[in-house]
Structure 1
Amino acid sequence: MTINTLDWTSAWNGRVSKADAAPFDIRCGDLALRLATEIRANRLPFINLPYREELEKDLEAQTPWLQSFEHMLLLGIGGSALGARALQKAFYPQQDRPCHNGRSLWIADNVDAATLDAWFELLPPEKTVVVVISKSGGTIETLSQYFLARLWLQKSLGDDWKRHVMLITDEAKGYLRQEANALGLASMPVPDYLGGRYSVLSAVGLVPAAFLGMDWKALIRGALAVGAPLLNMGAGASELHRHPSWKLAVWNSALMAKGYSQIIFFSYVPLWAQFGLWFTQLWAESLGKEGKGSMPLPAVGVTDQHSTQQMFLDGPRDKACLLLSSPSLSRGSQFGNDLPEEWAYLRGAHFGDLLQAEGLGTQMALTKTGTPLIELRMGRTGEEEAGRLMALLEITTVLTGWLLDINPLDQPAVELGKRLANARLGAQGYAEESADLEAFLGRAPEQQEF
C-alpha cells in the first residue's frame, strides 16, 4: 500500500522553531468550532462537497455529449482555468506530445486577441464545444470571449450553434444564467459559497476533466478523504489538531511572524508542475490582504535549479519551501554501458533516477542554507492523490487566513483593477474611477528611449 506523507524533518529550520508555533496552536479550539459551524452551514463546500450527488448525476449525463466533440474551447480566467489546466497537464499529457490525434482542450484564460483569432481560424466549429465559466456571469474578459465565440459558431453553424455551448455559472443569477435559461443552452452550476480558486473539484474543473476522459470521481474521492476527519468533529479540537492542514497552517503562520515573506512551491513531479500555478492563485488571492500573507513562488524541478534556485539558496533568507515529490514516477529509459569513462556512474542507471537525485540534492541544499522546508511526498500520482493534495492545500489556506485574522474567501483588491478597466472601456456607473483615470492619464510624462 502506498501512502502520501508530509515530511517535517526540515520544517523548523532557520529562524523558526517549534516554540514559535505556540501562539497560533492555542487557537485550535476556537477555530475548530468556527470550522465545524461553517462546514455545517455549507459555507466551505470544497471541504464537504454537499453538491456531490447532483454534480455526479449531471456530469455522467453530460459526458457522452461532451465527448462527442473533438475539441473543447474553455473560456475562463483565474480560478475558472488554472485548476483545469493543472489537471490537463497532469493527466492528459498526450495532447502536448508528437502526433496527438485524440480530443484536445484549449484554454482561453487571457485577453490575447491573436491567439483567440487563431483558434477561431483553425478549430473546426462543427467539432468544437465552447465551455464558458464565470461564477458571477459577468467577468468581462470571459464574456467578451463568449460574445466573439458565439458569433464564430453562428456564422458556421446557424441555429445549431446552441448545441455547441455549455455555460458554467451561478445557479440562479447573473448574465450567463439568464443566457442559459433564455436560449436553452446546456449549463451546470457553480455552487453557492464556492469561489473560483476553490472550485476545481466542481463542474469548473471536472467538466474538462470528463471531456478528456480522466477519472474525475477519483479526484472527488481523494478530496473527500482529506476533509472527512473534519466533518464530524466533536466538542473538542483534537480532530483538527491532528489534521495535517492545521499543522501546515500553524507552520505558515509562524513563518510569517518570523519574517518569512515567500513560500516556494517546488514541484519535482514534472507532470504536476502546473499545480504550482494553481497554488499560487489560491494562496496569493486568499491571503494577500491588509499587508499580510506570504508570496507564493512556483518552481519546477529540475528546470528552476538552473534559474531561480540561485536566489533561493544565496539570496535573502525570507523564503520557506513546500517541495512536492513522488518515489513512484517512471524511471524511464536505461543508459547503456558504452558511456565515456567520466560518465561511467550513469551506466545501467535510468533517466528518471536523475530527477530523484536532483530533488534530494535541492532538498538538502535548501535545508543546509537554513530554509524551512516540508516535503509533500505523494505515494502515487493518480487522480485520487491529486484530489487529496488540492483539498489539503485549500483547507490549509482557509485555516491560515483565519490565523492571520483575515477573510481568505474574498479578494477585495482585485476588484479595483476591474472597475478601472470598465471605466476605461466606457462602462456606466464608474464616476470615481473615471476621475481617477483622468488624473492618472493626465500626468506629465517622464520617459526615456531604450
Structure 2
Amino acid sequence: MADILDWTNADLNRLDMAAYEARADEMAARLKQETGAGRLPFLTMPYEAELKAQLADLEGFLKGFDHMLLLGIGGSALGARALQKAFHPGQDQPGHTGRSLWIADNVDAYALAAYMEKLPPEKTVVVTVSKSGGTIETVGQYFIVKEWMRGTLGDDWAKHMLLVTDEKQGFLRGEADGFGIRALPVPDNLGGRYSVLSAVGLIPALFLGMDTDALMAGAREVTAALADPGLDGGKLAAQSAFRLAAWGAALMDKGFAEMIFFTYIPLWASFGDWFAQLWAESLGKEGRGSQPVPAVGVTDQHSVNQMFMDGLRNKACLFLTCPNLPAGPKFPSDLPDQFAYVRGKDFGELIQAEGLGTRMALSESGVPLVEIRLGADSPRQAGKLIGLLGAATILTGWLMGINPLDQPAVELGKRLAKARMNADGLEKEKADLNGFLTADRDLREF
C-alpha cells in the first residue's frame, strides 16, 4: 500500500497558500545553492556510503555486548529513542532477555547511579554522542561513566566505549585519539535534530538489529528529488515536503499557533517527541513559529483532546496513521449485549475506528488537518517520515524568512548554566546571573 498525504481536511480554503506556492522557483534555487555547497547533508546524505561501511565494520564489535548505554541529549537521543520504541518494543515488555538500549538524556543523578549499579560493565558498550564534544550534560556523564568503567574493567575500559563526535576537533575527538577509542563522525553542517539517519541514530538502531539500510533508503525516496541538481520550481511544487511547508507557513499567518502531531501508531509515539524538537527548535524564533504538541492515540483522546476540539481555535494537526497495523486477538463472541458491536472483531479494528472518529471530530471542530497515512509501520516508512518532516521544516523556515538550522535561544541557556558552574569567561552571563539571583523574590509557602 502506498504512503500518502490526505489533504481533504486541511482547510485550504481558509489559507493563503498560493502566496507561498508562488515562491517555488525561489526555494528551488536556494535548495540547489545550499545542497551544492554541502550545507544540507540531511538532504544529500553524502556520507551514506562511508557510513554503511563503518556500520558493517562495527556490527561484529557490537555483537559482544548485551547492553548499550547511550549518553546524549536532544537530537543526540530523541531519534534513537523513537526508533527503539518503534522497532524494538520487546525491551518494554515482560520477560525481555534480548539486547537493551538505555538512554541517559538528562542530568539525572538517580538514573545515572542506577545504570552504574545495575548494568554489567563487561557486557555494556557506552556510546557518547556530542558533535561539539562540549555538551556538558553529555560530557559530564561521560566523565563519570568513564571512571566507572576504569574502576571495573581496568585497562580494557576503552574497548567498551564508542564516541560519535566531530571528525577533527573537540574534546571527545581528543579522547578518541588519546585513548584509542572507537569513534564515528557527525558530518559537518548536520545539526542534532536532523541527525537521526547518521551515526547518531543508526548505531543504536544497528545494535538493536534494525534494518538501517531501509531507514536510509526510505529517507532518500523523499529527499533525493530535493537534492537533485536539476531541481526547478515546477518540480519542487510537486513535492509533498514543499506543499507541507507552504501549508505550515500559511497556517501561522492565520494565527494557528499550535501544531499537533497526533500519532495513531502506538509504538511510534516517541516520534512525536522527535518532531517536537525538530519543529520548535527550527521555527521558534524572532517571536514567531507554532508550538508543537505531541499526542498519541488512543490515550490522548481521554486527556488533551478536549482542548484540541473545544479550546482556543489556534490549532492545526498532522495526523499519523497506518491502516495495516496488526489485527491482534479477536474479541470473544459471548460479550454482554452492550458490547455486541465488537463481538468477534479483531482488537486492532478498534484503533482504526478510534483514529477515524478523532480525525473527523477534529476536522468538524475547525482544526485544519493533514493525514500522513503510511502503507506499513516499517523502517522504510520511518525513513520516509523522517525525510518528509525534516525537509518540510527546513522549507517552512525559509518561507518564514528565518534560519531553520540554528538555535540561538538554546545557546543562551547553555551559557548561563556554564556561568552558574563558574566556567572560565562568560563575564556578561555571570553578571546577569548575579543580578537574577540577588533580585528580590516573591516567595510564598504552599
Query: Shorter-normalised TM-score: what interval?
Result: over 0.9
> How big is the shift at 1:234?
3.0
8 Å contact kept, 1:223–1:391: yes
> How big is the shift at 1:232?
2.3
1:414 aligns with 2:413: no
* Matching residue of 1:116: 112
Q: How does 1:68-107 map to 2 (within 5 A)?
A: 68-107=64-103
Distance 2:232 2:375 in 1: 31
Q: Deviations over 1:237-265 (max 9, x none)?
A: 11110000000000011100000000000
Distance 1:39 1:209 in 2: 27
> How big is the shift at 1:22?
1.5
* Matching residue of 1:189: 185
Distance 1:72 1:376 in 2: 32
Distance 1:218 1:176 in 2: 30
Distance 1:152 1:115 in 2: 14
8 Å contact kept, 2:81–2:103: yes
Structure 1 counterpart SS, 2:225: helix
Gaps spanning 5+ residues in structure 2: where? none
The worse-fitting range, judged by mean Cα deviation, of 397-406 and 38-47 is 38-47
- The total of aligned residue pairs comes to 446
* Matching residue of 1:10: 9
Which of structure 1's runs of 4+ aligned residues deviate more than 4 A?
none
Corresponding residue to 2:220 among 190, 212, 224: 224
8 Å contact kept, 1:423–1:433: yes
Equivalent position amino acid for 2:430 in 1 = S
Distance 2:425 2:113 in 1: 31
Structure 2 counterpart SS, 1:229: coil
Do the aligned partners of residues 366 and 235 (structure 1) sit closer, same or farther apart at CA in structure 2, a change above 3 Å counting? closer
1:172 aligns with 2:168: yes
Q: Deviations over 1:283-330 (max 9, x none)?
A: 000000001111000000010001100000000000000000000001
Equivalent position amino acid for 2:33 in 1 = T
Equivalent position amino acid for 2:408 in 1 = P
Distance 1:177 1:117 in 2: 26
Distance 2:208 2:410 in 1: 32
Q: Deviations over 1:332-353 (max 9, x none)?
A: 1101111001111111111111
Structure 2 counterpart SS, 1:420: helix
Distance 2:220 2:201 in 1: 16
Distance 2:97 2:153 in 1: 24
Equivalent position amino acid for 1:446 in 2 = D
8 Å contact kept, 2:31–2:227: no
1:138 aligns with 2:134: yes
8 Å contact kept, 1:233–1:239: no
1:392 aligns with 2:392: no
Equivalent position amino acid for 1:273 in 2 = A
Equivalent position amino acid for 2:419 in 1 = A
> How big is the shift at 1:233?
4.7
Structure 1 counterpart SS, 2:30: helix
8 Å contact kept, 2:225–2:231: no
Distance 1:361 1:337 in 2: 24
> How big is the shift at 1:67?
2.2
1:426 aligns with 2:425: no
Q: How does 1:427-442 map to 2 (within 5 A)?
A: 427-442=423-438
The worse-fitting range, judged by mean Cα deviation, of 240-249 and 343-352 is 343-352
> How big is the shift at 1:235?
6.5
* Matching residue of 1:155: 151
8 Å contact kept, 1:84–1:206: yes
Q: Deviations over 1:202-228 (max 9, x none)?
A: 000000000000001100000111112
Q: Deviations over 1:96-134 (max 9, x none)?
A: 011000010000000000110011000000000000000
Distance 2:153 2:340 in 1: 62
Distance 1:326 1:249 in 2: 22
* Matching residue of 1:253: 249
> Pairwise CA RMSD of aligned residues?
0.9
Distance 2:119 2:224 in 1: 43
Distance 1:283 1:444 in 2: 36
Distance 1:72 1:151 in 2: 17
Structure 2 counterpart SS, 1:94: helix
* Matching residue of 2:52: 56
Distance 1:151 1:384 in 2: 39
Distance 1:240 1:425 in 2: 48
Structure 1 counterpart SS, 2:114: helix
TM-score normalised per structure 1:
0.98
Structure 2 counterpart SS, 1:321: strand
Structure 2 counterpart SS, 1:43: coil
Distance 1:17 1:226 in 2: 28
Q: Deviations over 1:159-193 (max 9, x none)?
A: 10000000000101110011101111000000000
Q: How does 1:292-441 map to 2 (within 5 A)?
A: 292-441=288-437
Do the aligned partners of residues 436 and 235 (structure 1) sit closer, same or farther apart at CA in structure 2, a change above 3 Å counting? closer
Do the aligned partners of residues 420 and 355 (structure 1) sit closer, same or farther apart at CA in structure 2, a change above 3 Å counting? same
Do the aligned partners of residues 105 and 415 (structure 1) sit closer, same or farther apart at CA in structure 2, a change above 3 Å counting? same
Query: Percent identical across equivalent pairs?
Result: 58
Distance 1:157 1:232 in 2: 49
> How big is the shift at 1:446?
1.3
Equivalent position amino acid for 1:345 in 2 = Y
Distance 1:385 1:331 in 2: 19
Equivalent position amino acid for 1:366 in 2 = L
> How big is the shift at 1:40?
1.7
Distance 1:232 1:35 in 2: 9
Equivalent position amino acid for 2:7 in 1 = W
Distance 1:384 1:236 in 2: 27
* Matching residue of 1:67: 63
The worse-fitting range, judged by mean Cα deviation, of 345-354 and 160-169 is 345-354
Gaps spanning 5+ residues in structure 1: where? none
Structure 2 counterpart SS, 1:230: coil
> How big is the shift at 1:276?
0.4
Do the aligned partners of residues 385 and 129 (structure 1) sit closer, same or farther apart at CA in structure 2, a change above 3 Å counting? same
